[in-house]
Amino acid sequence: MELTPGLSTLSVLLIGFALGLRHAIDADHLAAVSTIVSEKKSLLTASWVGGLWGIGHTLSLFVVGVIVILLRVQISETAEARLEAAVGIMLIGLGLNALRKLFSNGTVHVHTHQHGEREHVHIHRHDEQKRDPSHHRYSVRSVMVGMIHGLAGSAALMLLILPAIDSPVAALVYILAFGIGSTGGMVAMSFIVGLPFHLTADRFTFMNKGISLAAAVFSLFLGTYIVFTTLVRV
């Protein structure tokens, strides 16, 4: 079935899925997810964070897509800039929150132990909160972060697909394929980002804290950069 003069159903799905995979590795997406993944030791949990992000991202994209495609509502440049600024503010908040947790949730201790005639030094951290009793908090946060990213990226997505796809059904299919691709890409990236946190969580405390610090600072500075650059455009 031809949905548009130049695009078949399969073409729309493949293009949307491929661009969704590419979309997942944008710097602002990785910065946001990294600050959340830095709190997790499990690779499965890290991957789940990426999946939740993808759900929120796809949900907001699809809702905006329905409004834009079916109701012919246009997203102005001012609105687009403000949505991007919201992403920057969110990244700043995530970075500050990660820094707060990094320096308040635990303390590093240096202990010496005597083994025969040799004295060994052991460095480790005692966490004030050993385990979050509920995954609800970070689950909601991951979905909300994905939704904000989806809103910010909706304007560019609409400008990309509307000129090329005449059929509203084809456009919505494209958005769903794009969302599935971005979700799959973010699950993979969250797994990869989670690897250093997982490998250093228990045995290499200082390295783990250093990686977490780098993720928080990156999110903070990238968010600040996004806010300042978008303010120029408003």
Question: Is 176 a residue whose pLDDT tops 60?
Answer: yes
Report the 10 Å Cβ neighbour count for 22: 13
pLDDT of 56-92, one tens digit each?
A: 999 998 888 888 777 877 777 788 888 899 999 999 9
In a domain, residue 112? The reply is no
Domain count within the chain: 1
In a domain, residue 220? The reply is yes
In a domain, residue 125? The reply is no
Rounded Cα–Cα distance for residues 160 and 145 (Å): 23
Q: Identify the pLDDT of residue 19.
A: 83
Task: Classify residue 24 by its DSSP letter.
Answer: T
- Cβ atoms of residues 146 and 53 within 8 Å: yes
pLDDT of 182-215, one tens digit each?
A: 999 999 999 998 888 888 877 788 888 889 999 9
Q: What are phi and psi of 175, to 5 degrees?
A: -60, -40
In a domain, residue 40? The reply is yes
Tell me the DSSP string of 120-141: EEEEEEEESSSS-S-SHHHHHH
- What lies within 8 Å, CB to CB, of 103 at 6+ separation is none
Q: Identify the pLDDT of residue 93.
A: 93
| Strands 118-127 and 106-115, sheet pairing | antiparallel
Helix axis angle, 168-200 to 43-71, nearest 10°: 160
In a domain, residue 223? The reply is yes
Using only C-alpha atoms, the chain has a radius of gyration, in whole angstroms, of 21
DSSP element (H, E) containing 34: helix 27-37
Give the three-class secondary structure for 108: strand
Q: Report pTM.
A: 0.78
Please state the rounded mean pLDDT for residues 156-160: 63
Task: Classify residue 41 by its DSSP letter.
Answer: -
pLDDT of 214-226, one tens digit each?
A: 999 999 999 999 9
In a domain, residue 162? The reply is yes
- Cβ atoms of residues 77 and 149 within 8 Å: no
Domain range for 93 is 9-107+137-233
Q: Identify the pLDDT of residue 133.
A: 45
- Cβ atoms of residues 101 and 219 within 8 Å: no
Give the three-class secondary structure for 203: coil
Nearest to 29 by CA among 49, 59, 15, 44: 49
DSSP element (H, E) containing 149: helix 136-161
Rounded Cα–Cα distance for residues 197 and 212 (Å): 8
Q: Which residue has the tokens 């012919």?
A: 72
pLDDT of 20-31, one tens digit each?
A: 888 888 898 989
In a domain, residue 202? The reply is yes
In a domain, residue 126? The reply is no
Q: Which residue has the tokens 């460095």?
A: 123
pLDDT of 95-140, one tens digit each?
A: 999 998 888 855 444 455 555 556 655 545 544 444 444 455 668 8
Arithmetic mean of pLDDT over the chain: 79
Report percent pLDDT > 70 for the chain: 76
Helix axis angle, 168-200 to 136-161, nearest 10°: 140
